Chains A and B, each alone.
Chain A
Amino acid sequence: MHINVNIPHAFVISSGKNMGVFKGVGFPEDIADFFKLQEYEGYLWTAHNRFPTNTPGWWGGAHPFSLLDWSIVHNGEISSYGTNRRYLEMFGYTCTLQTDTEVVTYLIDLLVRRHDLSFEQAATIFAPPFWKDIDLMTPEEQNRYTQLRMIYGSAALNGPFAFLVGYADGLIGLNDRVKLRPLIVATKGQTTYMASEEASVREICPELDRVWAPRAGRPVIARLNEKPVAMCVE
């Protein structure tokens, strides 16, 4: 954080254990060659090929964004960025990378690491169920969801998004709650694939056991111990 804010043109891109982040501007195959990806091995890969939405592409703004052990790729735009950013600033985070995905990384850090919430709860905060649905729940559930929304209203992500969070134990896919971006999950044997489009999954693995589009605002979590290998393409 100190380097990103105070040293001009220097940014820390990767700070995790047992995880690497490679970024660059160019065609995907050139980037892969540049970083000699064929020399790496891993059980969880996330890749992102981006048409930068609102800013000219620059290498620091390329996905994934990572902090400690989280790495995030994101398709979409977070309309609540202003609210989320000012909420994070209250907790000492500073946004420097000129892109909205950064806030997701910090929010996960805040909610999961600092506030001890589960990924399911964090996902509920990011894409909260509608009040009309909460009002139909059992009193205990109602109270739980109401509290989550009440306390973390400023951490809710609004606007179109589908993002994937990779971490040491698995992979999480989450859509916005009105499904303004596509998200496809597929499985083949022990491998889970998540992507915006089925075509990109089929490109890597033409024969799949199961392909489905998760419901809006419901997280899909692939855990390492349950499904040993997770693989995804954004």
Chain B
Amino acid sequence: MQETINTTVLSERDYFEEPDRQGLGIRSLKKGQYFFSLPQYCVERNDANCIRCLVCVRQCTWDSTYYDPDRNVVYNRHENCVNCRRCEAMCPTQCIQIKKWGSGFRENYHWNPKQMISVSKQADTGGVLLTGCGNDLHYETYFDRMVIDASQVTNPSIDPLREPMELRTFIGRKPEKFDPEKASSISTQDCPNYVCEIPLIFAPMSFGSISYNFQEGLARAASEMGTYFNTGEGGLHPNFHQYSKRAIVQVASGRFGVSSSYLKNSAAVEIKCGQGAKPGIGGHLPGEKVTGEISRTRMIPEGSDAISPAPQHDIYSIEDLRLLIYALKEATEYTVPISVKIAAVHNVAAIASGIIRAGADIVVLDGFRGGTGAAPTVIRDHVGIPVEVAIAQVDQRLREEGIRHQGSIIAAGGIRSSADVVKAIALGADACYVGTAALIAVGCTLCQQCHRGKCAWGITTNRADLLPRLPSDVAAERLKNLLCAWSHEIKEMLGLMGLNSIESLRGNRLKLRGVGMNSEELNVLGIKQAGV
């Protein structure tokens, strides 16, 4: 992208600060913004090793590092540091270490620093606090309480180095039964499916919330690995139309970028009803991040906040959802599957069953660990349920109703490793969305500042000077490596379970056992206690 619209004009001089004559750390406390000057992190610089190359000064986007040429010293405004670790990573002499600042507040289990700082920030601004990434509180991660079975003696484990091992997955509605008449001609496919060579699909991340380069990286990695990326609700940039057969295009409550060619040139269309990080509210792209290209792709004015409505305004009941599903099927001439993405909430099994009955071919369950580019902190941290129980409950309910084959289940939200993927599939998912892991693969350190549009790693920003920090080919290669590594690991795990095809793992809960869960939790997940 050659665009340089709406970016700050920078010159080398901008990195050199006039010295603060009052000394450091003494800042005016405007309107009593007391906590603002209480740093959370301390950028500790070993001055003996600092060579004044100023890499850290140039790389910091949070206005936390500056250079005083008079004293020839690099200083920090520690209260601005977000612990993104960009300076640490780039320093050629490794003289920087970011640490927790001092004593913190007086120890208090109930009023932990996060709570106190939130209260103070709200007193400063009177606003809803925004954050990025996924829920970071201490809730149970059931993935870590499930263990996987292995073959010993009576059934041989299979060696993926020496035997074929298949991960190809079909996502979409399956016919009731095999019909030999339809099988001979290819054109009469009344159940369109999209085919993934690996059960890993990139999660919805919109252009705007993430950078142009990162989305291009996702698209290229998906194309090369035989899987798919998801446009999120930000539309598809014209330059990415070449990847449109690898794109799952979203129709969200804001309808950004939705047009007939957008819908037709896709692998699948996804109706976004909810997001794990913010169930019950719409997408949010802060105005800071709406630059020229994004405004054109989304069809909104530059610099304006893009806040999608909380519900889809044409869906107030399950009948309405059916109308929208069939409207999209008509629009795409029944050539692609229609997916419905919901946040995992308390009554998820009944909702998912309704969605499949309404005609959706795929239901995506987004757990509460799912990431976001911008969401109110309080919603991200306290709304929704873990994806593990959502998969288990939805899969079970669809089977009880005999409609499991009518829709695929995709698990999203907090899939951290190939083991999580294997566990999710064994619980009943068809495939997994990979979002946060893809971000980490390209450098994200989960500093949770995505909403500010200043990502120092160049991932969640479209500022022209920050874009080159993540070139698309570097992103594509790293993402491809990640998918490759995970698929090798999944193959290894399939092999050790004595399986040579992913479909024999799907819903195979006998391959899982629970450790350290109570009987109710085991029951909800539909698995047995380890040792039984």
Contact = CB atoms under 8 A, between A and B. Distances in A.
- Do A and B touch each other in the complex, judged by CB within 8 A? yes
Interface of A: 53-54, 76-77, 79-83, 85-87, 89-91, 115-117, 121, 128, 130-132, 139-140, 143-144, 147-154, 156-160, 177-178, 180
Contacts of A53: 154-155
Contacts of A151: 174-175, 177-178, 405
Interface string B147-179: 000010011101000011010101000110110
A79 B155 contact: yes
B186 A154 contact: no
Q: Taking each of A81, A153, A160, which has the highest tally of chain B beta carbons within 10 Å of its own beta carbon?
A: A153
B488 interface: no
9 contacts: A90-B404, A143-B186, A151-B174, A151-B405, A153-B501, A154-B506, A158-B501, A180-B156, A180-B158
B531 interface: no
A90 B403 CA distance: 8
A83 B404 CA distance: 12
Given A90-B404, A115-B177, A54 B154 contact: yes
Contacts of A77: 154-155, 498
B500 A154 contact: no
Interface in B495-524: 497-501, 503-511
B183 interface: yes
B52 interface: no
B100 interface: no
B127 interface: no
Contact of A82 (B158, B501, B508): B508
B346 interface: no
B422 to A, nearest CB: 13
B382 interface: no
Given A76-B155, A90-B399, A82 B510 contact: yes
Nearest to B166: A131
Interface string B408-433: 00000000000000000010000000
A211 B119 CA distance: 82
A131 B164 CA distance: 10
B184 interface: yes
Given A90-B402, A90-B404, A144-B183, A79 B174 contact: no
Contacts of B178: 115, 117, 121, 147-148, 151-152
Q: Taking each of B185, B404, B498, which has the highest tally of chain A beta carbons within 10 Å of its own beta carbon?
A: B498
Contacts of B185: 143
B252 to A, nearest CB: 29
Contact of B499 (A87, A131, A159): A159
A130 B167 CA distance: 11
Contact of A156 (B164, B180, B501): B501
A82 B164 CA distance: 22
B399 A79 contact: no
The 5 nearest A-B residue pairs measured at CB: A82-B510, A153-B503, A80-B504, A82-B508, A79-B498
B163 A178 contact: yes
Contacts of A178: 158, 163-164, 500
Q: Is the interface of B mostly helix, strand, loop or mixed?
A: loop
A118 B123 CA distance: 73
B193 interface: yes
Contacts of A177: 500
B170 A158 contact: no
Nearest to B395: A86
Contacts of B180: 144
Nearest to A128: B501
A53 to B, nearest CB: 5
Contact-size category for B: 35 or more
Interface of B: 151, 154-156, 158, 163-164, 166, 168, 170, 174-175, 177-178, 180, 182-186, 193, 399, 402, 404-405, 426, 497-501, 503-511
Q: Taking each of A82, A139, A180, which has the highest tally of chain B beta carbons within 10 Å of its own beta carbon?
A: A82
A143 B498 contact: no
Given A82-B507, A178-B163, A178-B164, A140 B184 contact: yes
B151 A83 contact: no
A175 to B, nearest CB: 14
A150 B499 contact: no
A141 to B, nearest CB: 10
Contacts of A85: 510
A228 B366 CA distance: 59
B174 A158 contact: no
Contact of A158 (B175, B504, B509): B504
Nearest to B153: A53
B479 to A, nearest CB: 23
Nearest to A176: B500
A107 B384 CA distance: 38
Contacts of A158: 498-501, 504
B439 to A, nearest CB: 31
A83 B503 contact: yes
Contact of B503 (A76, A115, A121, A156): A156
Q: Taking each of B151, B166, B426, B503, which has the highest tally of chain A beta carbons within 10 Å of its own beta carbon?
A: B503
Q: Taking each of A81, A131, A150, A154, which has the highest tally of chain B beta carbons within 10 Å of its own beta carbon?
A: A150
Contacts of B501: 128, 153, 156, 158
Nearest to B158: A178
A139 B183 CA distance: 10
A149 B405 CA distance: 13
A159 B507 contact: no
A154 B155 contact: no
A104 to B, nearest CB: 14
A150 B172 CA distance: 10
B166 A79 contact: no
A158 B163 CA distance: 13
Contacts of A139: 186
A163 to B, nearest CB: 14
Contacts of B184: 140, 143-144
Given A79-B497, A157-B504, 8 more contacts: A82-B507, A86-B507, A132-B164, A150-B193, A151-B405, A153-B170, A154-B506, A180-B156
A6 B406 CA distance: 31
Contacts of A152: 178
Contacts of B186: 139-140, 143
B509 A79 contact: no
A80 B193 CA distance: 23
A226 B57 CA distance: 86
Contact of B399 (A86, A115, A148): A86
